[in-house]
Amino acid sequence: MREPELISIDTNQVKQIQIEALRFLIEYLEENKINYFIIAGTLLGAVRHKGFIPWDDDVDIGMTRQDYNRFITLFRNDFDCYNEGLYFLQNWDTDPHFAMPFSKLRVNNTIYKEEVTQYVNIHHGIYIDIFPFDDVHSNKLLSCIQEKGTMLLQKMILVKSNYKLTSRKMSVFYKIFLFPFPKKLMIALIHAINAKNTEDNKLMVCSGGSYGFKKEVVKKQWFERSEILRFENLEVKAPLGYISYLTNLYGDYKKIPEINQRGNRHQIIEKSAKKL
């Protein structure tokens, strides 16, 4: 079968494709009564700009671990029925060289290639990030093990999957010691050291978040209820405690950054989509 012809697209066209993917995802989640909330830059954009941050094109969705696991199980079973070949749900289970501890809803017949993964044999389509929120241990020692252990194991998985790391020396160091350790074992260890959902645990953490463990730790009560915000031409769910969440993550989130502090942190090297 002949591959579709792809043409170069700009950031505004990327955003249009993401909006349609987000519309599809929200409809699927609501139909299956799976709770979600916009987070990180998407939430910041909704609050401050009523849509995308002008110089960015992230779409970030969060779920509790229970909702996340239910979502990926349902979507895997319903895949052909719901997406008609338009989307691919990428995670550890569906894309063997994918290294991140969350999922990406990729748009088929598109390319959005990041520098860090340019040599990795994975689906490189335009995407929406879908993050699980895991409970944080109430015990300080266990929470420290959770923080340091997940960070180390995640770096090991990145190297194992040939992701481009900032430090070449660290990459070589990890590769020397990683041969005896299969990726499945490291993934199992990450799941094992994360806290289970109990009433004693008042905190949770965005697994795979960009800002580090301590910044990504949130109070569960911020996310117990939601409210509707506008994101471009969509209505989306935001955590009711979004002011506390955004302040914790960004500080003065209402302040517009200086021009030299703006930019897409993903370092995109190719953006293309199927020719219409």
Domain residue limits, the chain: 6-274
Q: Are 264 and 114 in contact (CB under 8 A)?
A: no
- Return phi, psi of residue 128, to 5°: -120, 130
Structure token pair of residue 126: 């335009």
More confident residue, 270 or 42: 42
Q: Are 40 and 210 in contact (CB under 8 A)?
A: yes
More confident residue, 179 or 185: 185
Instruction: Kindly report the length of the chain.
Output: 276
pLDDT at 1: 42
pTM of the model: 0.89
pLDDT at 212: 84
Report pLDDT digits (tens) over 83-119: 567 899 999 889 988 989 999 999 999 999 988 888 8
More confident residue, 2 or 154: 154
pLDDT, averaged across the chain:
86
How far does CA 270 lie from the centroid of its chain? 20
For 192-215, what is the mean pLDDT?
85
For 215-235, what is the mean pLDDT?
93
Structure token pair of residue 172: 């070589």
Q: List, as one string, the DSSP characters of 156-168.
A: HHHHHTT---S-H
For residue 227, give the nearest of 245, 252, 200, 214 by alpha carbon: 245
Region for residue 90 given its phi and psi (left: phi exceeds 0; alpha: psi -120 to 50; beta: otherwise): beta
Share of the chain above pLDDT 70, in %: 87
Q: What angle, rounded to 10 degrees, do the helices at 140-160 and 183-193 form?
A: 160
More confident residue, 203 or 264: 203
For 193-216, what is the mean pLDDT?
85
pLDDT at 34: 96
Q: Strand, coil or helix: what is 100?
A: coil
C-alpha–C-alpha distance, residues 230 and 228, integer Å: 7
pLDDT at 266: 67
For residue 85, give the nearest of 107, 55, 61 by alpha carbon: 107
pLDDT at 159: 78
Residues 6+ apart with CB under 8 A from 145: 137, 193
For 15-40, what is the mean pLDDT?
95
pLDDT at 267: 76
Q: Is 20 exposed, middle or buried (0-12, 13-18, 19+ CB in 10 A)?
A: middle
Report pLDDT digits (tens) over 53-81: 888 888 999 999 999 999 999 988 876 55
Q: What angle, rounded to 10 degrees, do the helices at 11-31 and 65-83 form?
A: 100
pLDDT at 68: 96
C-alpha–C-alpha distance, residues 115 and 273, integer Å: 18
The helix or strand, by DSSP H or E, that contains position 234, with its residue range, turns out to be strand 234-239
Range of lowest pLDDT (91-100, 175-184, 197-206, 211-220)? 175-184
* pLDDT value at 264 more than 50: yes
What residues pair up with 226 in beta bridges, in sequence order?
239
C-alpha–C-alpha distance, residues 181 and 276, integer Å: 45
